[in-house]
A and B are shown apart, each in its own frame.
Chain A
């Protein structure tokens, strides 16, 4: 007999596999019919069915394993300890999260106070807010410049009012400002 069940084709389960599934009642109608039709005449199939039925019976007849005396108390204590530790960790994580939020809120509040404190009696009204706030929040049309650019503008305008020309950045050059040496004869 072929080792493949006839109706399955190339990828069909083997007779042995069908027999194993058959004892569990886990075969399709076709395979069940095939087993029923062949078990009386096919010695191999009959042997497989008998063997797997016995293996299943052996396993199903295993006794119930129970822990030794005190085993459940150990399990109880271990799980209780682990769950308590997890609860503590969870609580600490929540406390940490709340603390972090509180610190953040406090930092924002302090920052707001500084902004307000700087904006009221500011002797350099255009300079400082420009650094602290985006240009679009200072009224007027939104400008795409950054706080740094605005700050530079603010410094420039303050300098104009004070009457000082802002120093332009000095450029470094390798050329000397001294007049070139003439090709003169050395002194005698």
Chain B
């Protein structure tokens, strides 16, 4: 395989972008190499990987493993939605990792440099810090969900996929998807009750 010397650093979304925005890249052409995939889909992959794993180190591992699998099976891609194909690989890799480790290890909050970087770079540090704390609390609640619920909720609410797409990607019935999303949200609702109450006021 040709070894490109160029970096695969992706086209990074701005610091204020929402996760759901980063999860919807729209390059029309199908990438030919894993480097192309990393450049075009890197933010989506990392953003979703972070939400699924809950920490930088595991998110990086998940993106790496996903790109390795993409490289291995890029020639098998059949015409269709490339982003969904890539996401399916990410999702399956995540579940493989969960099964392998049983439990994704947790990383303490202060070691998460990326999120501090983002807060420092934001135009309003106080608002950025508040957003950071909010994100972190939500992320911790997501981390507590069982893997199947977590994947369904992240795919639906973070990536923005429809139930049928999630069912196709996870290989379960659409009713199961609906149930998993509902049960995942119900747990989050209890866990984040204080935030929801603040929001209501």
Contacts and interface: CB of A to CB of B under 8 A. Distances in A.
B7 A60 contact: no
A76 B3 contact: no
Contact of A24 (B117, B138, B181): B181
A64 B1 contact: no
A59 B8 contact: no
A80 B16 CA distance: 30
Name the prevailing secondary structure of the A interface residues. helix
A79 B64 contact: yes
Interface string A74-89: 1110111011101100
Interface stretch (A12-20, A110-118, A133-141, A164-172): A12-20
A181 interface: no
Contacts of B68: 79, 82-83, 86
A120 interface: no
Interface stretch (B78-86, B98-106, B191-199): B191-199
A58 B182 CA distance: 15
A61 B72 CA distance: 34
Contacts of A83: 1, 34, 68, 71
Contacts of A50: 200
A78 B65 CA distance: 9
Contacts of A74: 60
Contacts of A36: none
A56 interface: yes
A56 B46 contact: no
A59 B135 contact: no
A63 B114 contact: no
A56 B181 CA distance: 10
Interface in B47-88: 47, 50-51, 56, 59-60, 63-64, 67-68, 71-72
B36 interface: no
A55 interface: yes
A65 B50 contact: yes
A65 B115 contact: yes
Given A58-B195, A64-B15, A67-B114, 7 more contacts: A52-B189, A60-B20, A63-B135, A65-B51, A66-B114, A67-B56, A84-B1
The 6 closest A-B CB pairs, nearest first, are: A65-B50, A59-B157, A20-B182, A68-B113, A68-B114, A17-B182
25 contacts: A20-B185, A20-B186, A21-B163, A24-B156, A52-B185, A55-B185, A55-B196, A58-B192, A58-B195, A60-B20, A60-B158, A60-B160, A62-B158, A63-B115, A65-B46, A65-B51, A65-B114, A66-B43, A67-B60, A72-B38, A78-B64, A82-B64, A83-B34, A83-B68, A86-B71
